Amino acid sequence: MVIWLIGLSGSGKTTLGTEIARQLQARHPNTVLLDGDTMRQIFAFDQGNNPYTVEGRRINAERITALCEMLDRQGIHVVCCILSIFADMRLNNRTRFSRYFEIFMDAPMQALRQRDVKGLYAAADAGKTTNVVGVHIPFERPTGADLVIDSSNDSADIPALAERALMLAGLWKSS
């Protein structure tokens, strides 16, 4: 199964995804966490000509999706945290993987700008960086997510949200 967490930078994808993976690994050791930022660093996807353009982002997304597919075919559960700005790829995920559960971390831009843990939005606003999704590159809100989580504030009970996601994904029943 592939659990796909999507949303803009700072929406909480990695925070929730890490907890989902932790809980899932406790019952299913054949679980791996893939994070878009980490994948870029490991495979140097952030180097070269314009890796953060729409074209560069598609190449990165296709590589991550292919890795998810390879792991899924081997019976490994994947928790993937990625911006996922391509609606066509999200739609294709529903048939590409053995099982697919999509979680949209929904937060308004104002909340993301206030949180801005990476300084990404401040740099974009100051003109120091370009190709920022949600600022320079449009982010089309997903319409078919299996679970939408309002991540506009920092007071969420992450372990409870992770358990709820895993129950809705059909990986276990409440205890």
Domain boundary assignment for the chain: 2-168
Q: Which of 84, 152, 155, 175 is catalytic?
A: 84
The lowest-confidence range among 44-53, 81-90, 123-132 is 44-53
Mean pLDDT, the chain, whole residue set: 92
Q: Which CATH superfamily is domain 2-168 in?
A: P-loop containing nucleotide triphosphate hydrolases (3.40.50.300)
12-20 average pLDDT score: 96
Number of neighbouring beta carbons within 10 Å of residue 102: 20
Query: Using 50, 70 and 90 to split pLDDT, how confident is the model at 47?
Result: low
Partners of 90 in the β-ladder: none
98 is catalytic: no
Give the per-residue pLDDT at 46.
64
Structure tokens at 31: 């679980």
Give the per-residue pLDDT at 175.
54
List b or e across 117-128, with b for residues whose CB sees 16 or more CB atoms inside 10 angstroms: eeebbeebeeee
Q: What is the percentage of the chain residues whose pLDDT exceeds 70?
A: 95
pLDDT at 161 over 80: yes
Partners of 105 in the β-ladder: 149
What does the longest C-alpha to C-alpha distance in the chain come to? 50
Residue in the block written with tokens 């292919």: 66
Give the per-residue pLDDT at 56.
87
Residue 83 near residue 5 (C-beta atoms within 8 A): no
Give the per-residue pLDDT at 133.
94
52-79 average pLDDT score: 94
151-171 average pLDDT score: 91
Give the per-residue pLDDT at 171.
87
Give the per-residue pLDDT at 48.
62
Distance (Å, whole) CA 172 – CA 175? 9
Give the per-residue pLDDT at 37.
83
